[in-house]
């Protein structure tokens, strides 16, 4: 059929009261939390269709440049606006926190159904703070966004009656599972399903906990066949491998996932490159003491934050590059070598997945120039 936008065109006229939400619908609601709803959605329920109608023209007028959006998101808002299946639902409790001092990037929204709610957690938003928090998932007991997600879910469930479904894409998937696992008992009993869309897993101490074990039967993780992000850390839940029309890391974009009717097009297994990177990352993490991992991550992001950059895309400027180079030189020799090892490892992993490094792309362009002579 195509992707989630094609699905909305095909099935967008069927109300949720007539045809319950399927896996394709939950992916759409998982991505919904990425849309910038500040000023449009507060504590009280408002019409999803009306919010999307107000938001759609803004996204096409440069607003998307200030938010963590990808190309498909620009089509999502108008598609939801024009879809009776979603336009007749309600949105509430939009929360958006960005605090570099606390190393937290967190956003969530509650979708109010005719019966019950769907809680959607946003993933990494492209800011340096957001990515730093993602890396801290590997060794921290908990990160600030996980605590925020747990509290948000408990509050949303207390506000609205009925069954609860929890979803998220990328880091949002990790937050969805964490919030559901550590929710109060009265909330946990109401949770019907948890969906992690290519989000990281957890350290061993979390997946071996009783709290995680009790939510496990209701959790399902979806991974594109060349997944990298979704394989980070450990998973014990049911995992489904699905088809993407893109390659390697680009498959993390949920708009590249193939949908057939109301479900994903499923494939048998992950690609060899994905399996290699998963094994390499786990080997690197397992043989590196947690305190060294934390020191390396803090050093890398300290270099990035030494510039004036807020988002990763801001690092492209010459001014920011010089600031980062200066920060690297200021590190003590041991930490500097640790950072270089991490960058070398990343380059090797990217090569296995088919993604070219900057140096390789330059060589390729030079080679093509000579071919034309």
pLDDT grade for 342, boundaries at 50, 70 and 90: low
Indicate if 265 and 153 belong to the same structural domain. yes
pLDDT for 31 equals 96
Cβ proximity of 147 and 328 under 8 Å: no
pLDDT grade for 358, boundaries at 50, 70 and 90: very low
pLDDT for 138 equals 64
| Per-residue pLDDT at 369 exceeds 60 | no
Please state, rounded to an integer, the average pLDDT across all residues of the chain. 83
Indicate if 318 and 232 belong to the same structural domain. no
171-191 in b/e form (b: 16+ CB < 10 A) is bbbbbbbbbbbbbeeebbeeb
pLDDT for 93 equals 98
Q: Of 236, 271, 306, which one is at a domain's C-terminal end?
A: 271
**The two structure tokens encoding residue 361:** 């792309």
Cβ contacts of 259 within 8 Å, gap of 6 or more: 1, 2, 3, 4, 6, 7, 24, 27, 265
Residue 231 counted as domain residue: yes
Residue 278 counted as domain residue: no
**207-235 mean pLDDT:** 92
pLDDT grade for 335, boundaries at 50, 70 and 90: confident
Indicate if 322 and 216 belong to the same structural domain. no
- Give the CATH number, domain containing residue 177: 3.40.50
Q: What pTM was estimated for this model as a whole?
A: 0.82
| Per-residue pLDDT at 133 exceeds 60 | no
Indicate if 257 and 127 belong to the same structural domain. yes
Indicate if 216 and 336 belong to the same structural domain. no
**337-352 mean pLDDT:** 63
pLDDT grade for 83, boundaries at 50, 70 and 90: very high
309-341 in b/e form (b: 16+ CB < 10 A) is bebeebbeeeebeebbeebbeebeeebeebbee
The count of structural domains within the chain is 2
Indicate if 202 and 327 belong to the same structural domain. no
Residue 280 counted as domain residue: no
R_g over Cα of the chain: 21
| Per-residue pLDDT at 361 exceeds 70 | no
How many C-beta atoms lie closer than 10 Å to residue 62's C-beta?
A: 8
The residue among 209 and 132 whose pLDDT is bigger is: 209
Q: If DSSP codes are grouped into helix, strand and coil, which group holds residue 165?
A: strand
How many C-beta atoms lie closer than 10 Å to residue 363's C-beta?
A: 12
Q: Of 220, 240, 271, which one is at a domain's C-terminal end?
A: 271
Residue 118 counted as domain residue: yes
In Å, the largest CA–CA distance within the chain is: 72
Domain of 338, in residue numbers: 288-372
238-272 per-position pLDDT tens digit: 999 999 999 877 888 999 999 998 899 999 899 88
CA distance 171 to 169: 6
CA distance 247 to 197: 17
Q: Of 246, 271, 296, which one is at a domain's C-terminal end?
A: 271
pLDDT grade for 34, boundaries at 50, 70 and 90: very high
Residue 348 counted as domain residue: yes
Candidate ranges 64-78, 131-145, 318-332; pick with highest mean pLDDT: 64-78
**124-145 mean pLDDT:** 66
Percent of the chain surpassing pLDDT 90: 51
pLDDT for 304 equals 67
Secondary structure letter of residue 4 according to DSSP: H
Q: If DSSP codes are grouped into helix, strand and coil, which group holds residue 40?
A: coil
| Per-residue pLDDT at 155 exceeds 80 | yes
Indicate if 120 and 251 belong to the same structural domain. yes
Indicate if 211 and 346 belong to the same structural domain. no
Residue 283 counted as domain residue: no
**86-106 mean pLDDT:** 91
Indicate if 193 and 298 belong to the same structural domain. no
Indicate if 321 and 218 belong to the same structural domain. no
The stretches of the chain forming alpha helices (DSSP H) are: 4-11, 23-32, 48-59, 73-81, 84-87, 128-136, 144-159, 171-181, 185-188, 204-207, 210-215, 272-287, 290-305, 318-330, 333-353, 358-372
Residue 176 counted as domain residue: yes
Residue 145 counted as domain residue: yes
Indicate if 263 and 329 belong to the same structural domain. no
Indicate if 160 and 293 belong to the same structural domain. no
DSSP state letters, 235-261: --SEEEEE-BSS-GGGGGSGGGB-EET
**The two structure tokens encoding residue 343:** 């960058």
């Amino acid at each position: 059929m195509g992707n989630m936008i094609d699905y909305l065109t095909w099935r967008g006229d069927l109300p949720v009261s007539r045809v319950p939400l399927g896996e394709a619908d939950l992916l759409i609601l998982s991505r919904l939390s990425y849309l910038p709803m500040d000023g449009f959605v507060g504590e009280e329920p408002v019409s999803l269709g009306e919010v999307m109608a107000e938001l759609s023209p803004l996204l096409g007028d440069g607003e998307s440049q200030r938010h963590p959006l990808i190309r498909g998101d620009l089509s999502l808002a108008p598609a939801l606006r024009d879809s009776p299946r979603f336009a007749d639902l309600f949105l509430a409790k939009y929360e958006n926190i960005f605090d570099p001092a606390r190393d937290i990037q967190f956003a969530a929204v509650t979708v109010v159904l005719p019966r019950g709610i769907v809680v959607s957690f946003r993933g990494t938003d492209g800011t340096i703070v957001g990515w730093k928090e993602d890396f801290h998932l590997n060794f921290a007991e908990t990160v600030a966004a996980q605590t925020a997600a747990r509290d948000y879910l408990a509050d949303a469930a207390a506000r609205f009656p009925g069954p609860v479904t929890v979803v998220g894409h990328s880091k949002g998937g990790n937050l969805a599972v964490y919030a559901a696992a550590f929710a109060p008992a009265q909330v946990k009993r109401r949770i019907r399903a948890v969906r992690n869309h290519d989000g990281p897993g957890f350290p061993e101490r979390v997946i071996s906990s009783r709290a995680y074990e009790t939510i496990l039967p209701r959790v399902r993780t979806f991974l594109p066949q060349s997944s990298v992000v979704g394989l980070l850390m450990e998973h014990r839940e049911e995992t489904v491998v699905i088809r993407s029309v893109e390659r390697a890391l680009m498959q993390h974009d949920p708009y590249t996932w193939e949908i057939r009717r109301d479900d994903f097009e499923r494939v048998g297994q992950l690609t060899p490159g994905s399996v290699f990177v998963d094994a390499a990352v786990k080997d690197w993490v397992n043989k590196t003491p947690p305190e060294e991992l934390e020191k390396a991550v803090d050093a890398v992001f300290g270099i990035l934050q030494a510039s004036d950059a807020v988002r990763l895309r801001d690092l492209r400027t010459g001014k920011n590059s010089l600031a980062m180079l200066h920060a690297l030189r200021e590190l003590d020799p041991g930490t500097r070598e640790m950072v270089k090892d991490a960058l070398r490892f990343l380059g090797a992993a990217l090569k296995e997945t088919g993604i070219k490094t900057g140096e390789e792309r330059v060589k390729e362009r030079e080679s093509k120039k000579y071919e034309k002579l």
